[in-house]
Amino acid sequence: MTDTTSDLVRIRSAYLRLVARRRQAGALATLAFVAAMAAGFRLADLGNSGPFLRGLLHLGDFPAEILAEASRKAALIPGLLWHDLPALVETLNIAAAATLAGSLCGGALSLLASPGLAPWPRLVPVVRRVLDLCRALPDIVVALVLVFVMGGGPVPAAIAIALHTTGALGKLFSEVNENADRRPVEGLASVGATWAQGMLFGVLPQVMPNWLSYILLRFEINIRASAILGFVGAGGIGYELRNAISWGLGQYDAAAAVFLLLILTIVAVDQLSSALRNRLAKGV
């Protein structure tokens, strides 16, 4: 079909060159990956208290001990679940409040950080660095500082998590915003709407399904984060877990109850959020 056979030869060699380049890139990447893994493994193994492979065999020891003790005291677990329920509610409250505050702040900042939507384009890099900073500070460090300043309790934990959520969601939201269609915004500007009105009525309806899906994912992450912050005195179920799981107290049944509650909660939230997301995707 091509004019001459020389055309075909040219096409073949052009494609083979393309493939050769790709193979080269692939081979280099594979080599770099293997080298990094090998070097990292050696380095990590030197840092361990014992050889990695021998340690691997003992990986299950601690969980096995917990499970063994928990199954011996299985009859106590329903009572412990009931006892831990208020702590769980506190943990969920911390996560929910932090997610709500973080999504509101993150949403507002994301609009300021999206080129093309931002009212002050020069501030876009500044807002982005602020979001970077929010993500860079580990929430556990923020919580420790706040606990030191304000004393223990759920409020420092909620603030710490909200800060991190703001940074994470602000970045994800602004990536969604960049794909939003500008024409509705222009249409609203043409009727004399303010910038905020343009965002609320022109952009939010487009990005909301994606935003909500990120918010729900973040809520799941925040439940775990707020459980961990309990370890540093922020209350909630993490505090119960720290007390129960310390070695040699003979309270592994309580630890098992906490784990059970956490797993059930995460599963429930996951079910809830996928149901919500499905409804959104269908546009109900």
Partner 1 sequence: MQLSVEGVTRVFGRTTAVDRVTFAVDGPAMIGIIGRSGAGKSTLLRMMNRLTDATSGRLLFDGQDVLTLTGPARRAWQARCAMIFQQFNLVPRMDVVSNVLHGTLNRRATLPALLNWYPRSDIHRAIDILDRLGIALQATSRVESLSGGQQQRVAIARALMQDPRVILADEPIASLDPMNAQVVMDTLRRIQQEDGRLVIANLHTLDTARRYCDRVIGMRDGRVVFDGTPDLLTTDAARAIYGAGADFSEAATSTAIEALDAPSLAPAPTRA
Least distance CB 114 / partner 1 (angstroms): 25
The answer to whether the CB of 231 falls within 8 A of the CB of 181 is no
Stretch that binds partner 1, among 19-27, 59-67, 115-123, 195-203 (CB under 8 A): 19-27
Number of residues near partner 1 (by CB under 8 A): 16
CA dihedral 143, 148, 152, 154 (to 10 degrees): -30
The answer to whether the CB of 232 falls within 8 A of the CB of 140 is yes
Stretch that binds partner 1, among 7-15, 98-106, 160-168, 196-204 (CB under 8 A): 7-15
Nearest to 100 by CA among 158, 29, 19, 55: 158
Taking residue 182's Cβ as centre, other Cβ atoms within 10 Å add up to 13
22 forms part of the interface with partner 1 (CB under 8 A): yes
Which position among 1, 43, 53, 59 is part of the footprint of partner 1 (CB under 8 A)?
Answer: 1
26 forms part of the interface with partner 1 (CB under 8 A): yes
Least distance CB 166 / partner 1 (angstroms): 34
Taking residue 171's Cβ as centre, other Cβ atoms within 10 Å add up to 18
Least distance CB 6 / partner 1 (angstroms): 12
Residue with structure tokens 């329903």?
78
Phi, psi dihedrals of residue 92, rounded to the nearest 5°? -65, -40
> What value does the CA radius of gyration of the chain take, rounded to a whole number of Å?
26
Residue nearer to partner 1 on the CB measure, 19 or 249: 19
Instruction: Report the alpha-carbon distance of residue 142 to residue 160 in Å, rounded.
Output: 5
Residue nearer to partner 1 on the CB measure, 22 or 72: 22
Residue nearer to partner 1 on the CB measure, 22 or 129: 22
Residue nearer to partner 1 on the CB measure, 21 or 58: 21
Least distance CB 17 / partner 1 (angstroms): 9
Residue nearer to partner 1 on the CB measure, 26 or 86: 26
58 forms part of the interface with partner 1 (CB under 8 A): no
8 forms part of the interface with partner 1 (CB under 8 A): yes
Q: What is the torsional sign of CA 126, 127, 132, 134? A: positive
The answer to whether the CB of 165 falls within 8 A of the CB of 216 is no
16 forms part of the interface with partner 1 (CB under 8 A): yes
Residue nearer to partner 1 on the CB measure, 6 or 190: 6
